[in-house]
Amino acid sequence: MFSNGSKRILLRCLMWTLALVVAFLILFPLWWIFISSITPSGELFSKPIKYWPVNPTLESYSYLIGNVGLLAKSRDTLIIVGLSITIGMILSVMAAFSFARFKNKGLSMAVAFLLGSMLIPDVVTARPLYDFLRQVHLFDTYTGLIILYISGIIPFTILILQNFLSDIPVSIEESASIDGCGFLQSMFYVTLPLLRPAIATVCIVNFITCLNNFFTPLFYSNGISVLSTAITQLPLRDNMYAVPWDLVSSMGWIIILPIIIFVGIFQRQIMEGIMAGGVKG
């Protein structure tokens, strides 16, 4: 029989072993993408396998900037993602405040339909949305893409913010009104400061969601290209049948790096925000 101390040591070893295995499974593909992006194309499939290139180079990145329009695609991504998150957050805060503070059957049905829209796959609504955007001349426009991005992040944002607001006592706002604050003053100067952790969390999650959105810009635009779809437009250089894996890896790393940085800096806020907003006390 093991003593209590031996059991604790064994359990800790098992936990560390499991953590290392999971970390390896997650981090090794990222490492492989990175070293593939700085490996010359002629050395990618050399044997034996090298886990660090003999002649590391940034040629793939310079090729993307000079021949694929990486800077323009980054600009389009920044415009679309930035405006989508900003406008979507403003609309979501107002909607979540209304849903949390005012109760009636109409609002309850609206919340149910809004959250139910999260269950509908994008491919189901693709054709009618495609026809609609063409009819209203929003296909392949910044405005059309921003509207679609906003519609994709609003349900999740409202869900999280509404649950946060439900945990904030109404008495705080009532006390502010007694002190002379109007409705808007109470919302902006009393409630919103308490929502800052939730707003920061949702902004980070929405940034990751928008940056990873592949279907929307691919299906609803031709001329406007963002980073997530740029990987489908990489040129075939020497052999028209060969996939340029060095360019694919470089583009993939450019897309992944901002997400890694954001998650690394704000991981605690992400987890605390999701747990606090997704579970009602």
Pick from 62, 10, 11: which is nearest to 40 by CA?
A: 62
The token pair that represents 205 in the structure block: 């999650």
Number of H helices, E strands in the chain: 13, 0
| Residue 233 pLDDT exceeds 70 | yes
The tens digit of pLDDT for each residue in 170-206 reads 788 778 777 777 777 777 777 888 887 788 888 888 9
Which residues 6+ apart lie within 8 Å of 117 measured at CB? 155
Q: Residue 172: helix, strand or coil by DSSP?
A: helix
Cβ atoms 49, 31 nearer than 8 A: no
The full DSSP string for 46-85 is -SS--SS-SS---HHHHHHHHHS-HHHHHHHHHHHHHHHH
Written as six digits, the tokens of 180 are 């002379």
> What number is the average pLDDT over the span 98-117?
83
**Tens digit of each residue's pLDDT (9 = 90 or more) over 238-255:** 555 567 788 888 888 888
What is the average per-residue pLDDT within 128-141? 92
Confidence band of 276 (pLDDT split at 50, 70, 90):
low
Domain 68-278 - what CATH class?
mainly alpha
Q: Is the dihedral of CA 7, 12, 17, 21 positive or negative?
A: positive
pLDDT tier for residue 87 given thresholds of 50, 70 and 90: very high
The chain-wide mean pLDDT, for the chain, equals 83
